[in-house]
A and B are shown apart, each in its own frame.
Chain A
Amino acid sequence: MYQEVKLELIFLLPIFLPFLTAIFLFLNKKLFNELITNFFTLNSALLSFAIAAYSFIVLGLDKFKPVNVELFQWISNPDISIGFTLDGLSGIMLILVTGLSFVIQLFSTSYMEKDENHCNYFVYFNFFVFSMLLLVMSSNFLVMFFGWELVGLSSYLLISFWSKKPAAAKAGNKAFVINRVGDFGFLIGLMIILDTFNTFDFYKILQNTSGIAESTITAISLFLLLGAFGKSAQFPLFSWLPDAMEGPTPASALIHAATMVTAGVFMLVRISPLLQHSKIASLLIIIFGLITALLAAFSAINQFDIKKVLAYSTISQLGFMFIAIGAGAYVAAIFHLVTHAFFKALLFLGAGAVIHSMHHEQDIRKMGGLRKKMPITASMMGIGTLAISGIPPLAGFWSKDEILASVFVNGGIYYVFWALALGAAFLTAFYMGRHWLLIFEKDNGFEHSDVAEAPKAMTRPLLLLGIFSIFIGFINTPFFHGLEKVLHVTLENVEVTHLPKGITLVVLAVLSIGAGFTGLIIAFLLFGMELHKRIDLKKFKLESPINLVKDLSSNVLYLNKFGNLFFVSGMKNLSRKVAVVVDGMLIDGSVNFVSTAFNKSSKITSTTQTGLVRNYVVYFGLFLLLLIALFIATPLVPR
């Protein structure tokens, strides 16, 4: 009992510590210089990570039995309360968010050095961490929705952090508006949930799913799915994420790679007891996940912005997580979420270090041959690249292989899905290989005489994340199901797809390793050895197809343009018409009619106001006569 009470109180600390830090820094932002700001924010982040780790260990000793703490009940019927829960799932997210927040803040202290809004950056950053923890630690949908909206807000603040750049301001708006579309679905889902279950509490809802009609569950799942699509940048709501790269790179690492965009995945795993009852929703998730994974991977192969490649890669990896959820492999989805958080944060921070050393040059065509100048960054990004490509024994291999195997084991149409996902994995390896080679290896004829290795405050987080990217995969291998043990209470009533046994698993693993290696080798042949220059392309009539692929890839299959044409311009034209017809004619017309009517009538009546006293006396007399006449004529007046 003593242990439980202690944990209940203590695991709230990491949630509210960043919030207090944000307020504290905001209030003192004129007083503090960079050094003091860094001191406070780093210590607060480290402290909340330590408490988070402690809570997780205590929770683990208690076999991951969920700990609920209800701060207060807001409304008793329907049952709505403000509360938090610590179970395996939220515990993992708690550690992940606080840990990465510390590492990335350490990197930020150097990256944001001498920025005029240095303190503001950390205010927003801490505010984001608070919102994200609110989202993952909530014990009910309402608090989750608060966090859900707040991460949207803080992400907007961080994307448009350099708001003097028009592109940054625009990107912030775009992210916010597209997220709104998803949030709309999320909100409707919440309304249906409240109507059906009369409560928002996760555990109360998820343990009472048996008596509910499948159509209701499907409706709830689909609307929540829309929310997840918006937040996790899935097709068709993905185009905000590449634009969001206008923000500071460390913020991109935390928000748009490691944590916020995984909120959708987290939420779907959270509602997995509901989700498993809806076949349609699961099928939709896997189809949209596949479309996203393939589309984003395809788009990444001809991007030249160092961060945009990573952005599309993030979208693609999120697609993999959705595939896992659609295949019922919820543990694999969370596993990939964790490993991806580490190696994608590593890649983003590496990109940040490169951008920093290149004096804010982001075009990879102007880089090349940086390996000798920046050996630590190059090797760490190399580790990240290998990890994301699925090369064993690095982190990405274990999680991606588990996803692919889980899809395969479902059978039937899922064999096709598996093949497509394998294709996406191959593309991943290819574009990541190209990315690394173009930055660090290929000689593009640029002299980088003034480029040097990034400062230690940047390389240390890189080294830390690099180590994790190698070893984090071992938490859930086919030989040791660590993550499954952590999540077993959370997913108690859920039928989780298990890995195939024996030789099938080995064959699948070999195939997925093969896809990774093939992608890397082709990338090396094309961009390392420049094979395409030695072959006469015209002889094979390959020139126009290759150009077509390049064109389609760099324009994301023209989906953005289509979206602009269809939604943005269409909406603009519609609203213009509404402005002319409804606003101009209907509303303005009626308002103007009232005012002109009053104006004209008052002009008529004002002629009686002559200003001459005797005229008034005449009116007075006339009304007196009228009164007398009335008095005489009315029979009702008693006489």
Chain B
Amino acid sequence: MIQRNEIVMLEVTTDWYLTLAAILFSIGFLGMMIRKNALIMFMCIELMLNAVNLTFISASKHFGQVDGQVFVFFVLVVAAAEVVVGLAIIVSIFRKQSSASVDVLNVSRG
């Protein structure tokens, strides 16, 4: 029997955060697999990275330790550096073939 006046508070546990992170990661991964625009793929990578960050933070909160949060800062720094290099590559690809599709770039085919 449900009491009307009671507000049922759903407790947001660590599992939720982990699930969200898994979903975000999967979306990013799927995007990497099916999209061919370099820019979109790049965004997917960012998505995956942030999913991992989320995992780190929630685990950190869960265990009450700061190690995970420290790692997140590292990941952020690396991601920033990656953006710089990645965007430069994308720009040069775009200049070369006036499209950002990566399928044309199959010169390393075996």
Taking Cβ atoms with an 8 Å cutoff, the residues of A that contact B are 605-614, 617-618, 621
Contacts and interface: CB of A to CB of B under 8 A. Distances in A.
B36 interface: yes
A611 B105 contact: yes
Contacts of B110: 605-611
Contacts of B29: 617, 621
28 contacts: A605-B110, A606-B110, A608-B110, A609-B108, A609-B110, A610-B106, A610-B109, A610-B110, A611-B106, A611-B107, A611-B108, A611-B110, A612-B102, A612-B103, A612-B106, A613-B32, A613-B41, A613-B102, A613-B103, A613-B105, A614-B33, A614-B34, A614-B36, A617-B32, A617-B33, A618-B33, A621-B29, A621-B33
Nearest to A618: B33
A632 to B, nearest CB: 15
Interface of B: 29, 32-36, 41, 102-103, 105-110
A455 to B, nearest CB: 81
Contacts of B36: 613-614
A627 to B, nearest CB: 14
Given A614-B33, A614-B35, 6 more contacts: A609-B110, A610-B110, A611-B105, A611-B109, A617-B32, A617-B33
A610 B110 CA distance: 6
Contacts of B103: 612-613
B84 to A, nearest CB: 20
A610 B106 CA distance: 7
Nearest to A605: B110
A608 B108 CA distance: 11
Contacts of B41: 613
A609 B33 contact: no
A200 to B, nearest CB: 64
Contacts of A605: 110
Contacts of A612: 102-103, 106
Nearest to B103: A612
Which of B35, B103, B105, B110 counts the most chain A CB atoms within 10 A?
Answer: B110
A427 B107 CA distance: 88
Nearest to A608: B110
A30 to B, nearest CB: 58
A612 B107 CA distance: 9
A209 to B, nearest CB: 75
Contacts of B108: 609, 611
Which of A606, A609, A617 counts the most chain B CB atoms within 10 A?
Answer: A617
Nearest to B25: A624
Contacts of A621: 29, 33
A473 B5 CA distance: 147
Contacts of A608: 110
A614 to B, nearest CB: 5
Contacts of A609: 108-110
Report the 10 A-B pairs with minimum CB-CB distance, sorted nearest first: A611-B106, A609-B110, A606-B110, A611-B109, A617-B32, A613-B102, A614-B33, A611-B108, A617-B33, A610-B109
A341 to B, nearest CB: 77
Nearest to B29: A621
A610 B102 CA distance: 12
A614 B10 CA distance: 39
A603 to B, nearest CB: 9
Nearest to A616: B32
A599 to B, nearest CB: 13
Contacts of A610: 106, 109-110
Nearest to A617: B32
B92 to A, nearest CB: 16
A130 to B, nearest CB: 65
B82 to A, nearest CB: 16
B90 to A, nearest CB: 12
A614 B105 contact: no
A610 B108 CA distance: 7
A23 to B, nearest CB: 60
Contacts of B34: 614
Which of A605, A608, A614 counts the most chain B CB atoms within 10 A?
Answer: A614
A614 B106 CA distance: 11
Nearest to B34: A614
Nearest to B109: A611
Nearest to A614: B33
Contacts of B102: 612-613
Contacts of A617: 29, 32-33
A608 B105 CA distance: 16
A617 B107 CA distance: 17
B24 to A, nearest CB: 15
A528 to B, nearest CB: 92
A609 B36 CA distance: 17
Contacts of B33: 614, 617-618, 621
A344 B29 CA distance: 98
Nearest to A607: B110
A621 B103 CA distance: 19
Contacts of A611: 105-110
B47 to A, nearest CB: 13
A611 B102 CA distance: 9
Nearest to A621: B29
Contacts of A613: 32, 36, 41, 102-103, 105
Contacts of A614: 32-36
B9 to A, nearest CB: 31
A617 B29 CA distance: 8
A608 B110 CA distance: 7
Contacts of A618: 33
B38 to A, nearest CB: 9
B91 to A, nearest CB: 17
Contacts of B107: 611
Nearest to B36: A614
B51 to A, nearest CB: 13
Contacts of B109: 609-611
A611 B35 CA distance: 15
A400 B27 CA distance: 111
